[in-house]
Amino acid sequence: MIGLVVGAVGGWLTIRYRILWGGVKPAQAENRMTPISVEMPVNEVKLESALPPHRLSLIVPLYNEIDNVAPLLAGIHQALVDYAHPWELIVVDDGSSDGTAARLLEEAQRYGPHVRVLILQRNFGQTAAMQAGIDAARGEVLATLDGDLQNDPADIPRLVARMLDENLDLVVGWRRNRQDNVWLRTIPSRIANRLIGNITGVRLHDYGCSLKVYRANVIKQVRLYGEMHRFIPAWMSVRTAPNRIREEVVNHRARVHGESKYGISRTFRVVLDLLSVYFFLRFLSKPGHFFGRIGLASGGLGLLILGYLFAQKLLFAASIGSRPLLLVGVLLVLMAVQFLTTGILSELITRTYFASTTNLSYAVRLEGPPELAPDAGWHLPHG
């Protein structure tokens, strides 16, 4: 009986969630794309040919996606066959162990020098692979997307048009109709997006969507480490005004080949990374304020306790030597000294950090095509 009640409640919550939040519907589980509405009417987006002259660099990190390589490159070329401006494709193999690197080199030869392959020495993680592609990109406009075929390359021209038309620095894809598992992917993602928005102040519906379009001279000022690719809009807000960051509804497809690299465990990593983001966004240039606040609060409370005990001893001749409160007061004062000195040391380290050269978070193996001249290796529009 209890099992039936729990099952009924679970089914009701699932149906209600799908209705209210736009979850996955059975009829949409196919990989075939269905048109969805966008935040601004299509007729308000400038045609690509009417946009300012620019060069577009597409960046796609891959890890163990051998079955997706051929359809990925074919889909990108099909989506950009009529693109009116020069573009290049940079695919980064993040130390795959299933032959993805060899398949990438093989497929790249079929398309020409505008398809560039970077092969990392080992698996550095998606953030480092994305940073490698950003460093290698030569275009004034950059676009990133996942290599699992869930992002639709046909959305890229629309996102580029909006960024250039509205003079933005970042347009983030919003997978409003996600084709993912509701309980393991969609719900945790919504909770994380709300939490990230509240802490960072950059409120978006979908931080985790890899389909983004950037202005190159802004994103190249941001260095990505660890697992910080989830917080790129927050990092971008350090270099540009938040009102120059917008989101656009994009298509999303169910995964067909390979296995997802994400699971419920990423929720815990997001929380830990979010603490780092909060510190770096608020206190990167003034870490002494962060540690100093804790030190002053700890020291103030410790001094109050010691002052109270001193008054007890002086006025009432109370025995305080064996009272636990004395130990607490002394520890709080010692903690205050440690936090204040840590703040001073952090200020010195910060100044060294800003004055030092930036170290790369990846290493590229000497494979793939040689370096190209700035005007070579672009897929030019037909005409």
Per residue in 243-280, pLDDT tens? 899 999 998 877 776 566 555 555 666 677 777 777 87
Identity at 80, one-letter amino acid code:
L
The answer to whether residues 244 and 226 touch, using CB atoms and an 8 Å cutoff, is: no
Residues 33 and 252: their CA atoms lie apart, in Å, by 8
Residues 247 and 162: their CA atoms lie apart, in Å, by 10
Closest CA to 69 of 97, 28, 31, 99: 99
CA distance readout (Å), 32 to 35, 131, 150, 176, 254: 10, 31, 11, 16, 9
Instruction: Give the bridge partners for 151, in sequence order.
Output: 252
Residues 258 and 255: their CA atoms lie apart, in Å, by 8
Q: Which two tokens stand for residue 372?
A: 């190209």
Q: Is the dihedral of CA 278, 280, 281, 283 positive or negative?
A: positive
At residue 286, the 3 state secondary structure works out as coil
Q: Which residues of the chain have a pLDDT value below 50?
A: 1-46
Q: Which two tokens stand for residue 35?
A: 């048109």
Angle at 16 between CA 10 and CA 19, to 5 degrees: 145
Per residue in 183-194, pLDDT tens? 555 566 677 767
Other C-beta atoms lying within 10 Å of the C-beta of residue 95: 20
Give the largest Cα separation in the chain, rounded.
97
Question: At residue 170, what are phi and psi to the nearest 5 degrees?
Answer: -155, 130
pTM score, whole prediction: 0.70
CA distance readout (Å), 243 to 44, 157, 158, 204, 379: 19, 21, 19, 12, 32
- Listed in sequence order, the residues at least 6 apart from 98 whose beta carbon sits closer than 8 Å to its beta carbon are 64, 66
| pLDDT, position 36 | 33
Instruction: Give the bridge partners for 245, in sequence order.
Output: 170
| pLDDT, position 383 | 60
| pLDDT, position 17 | 39
Identity at 13, one-letter amino acid code:
L
- Listed in sequence order, the residues at least 6 apart from 209 whose beta carbon sits closer than 8 Å to its beta carbon are 151, 172, 173, 174, 175, 250
| pLDDT, position 170 | 95
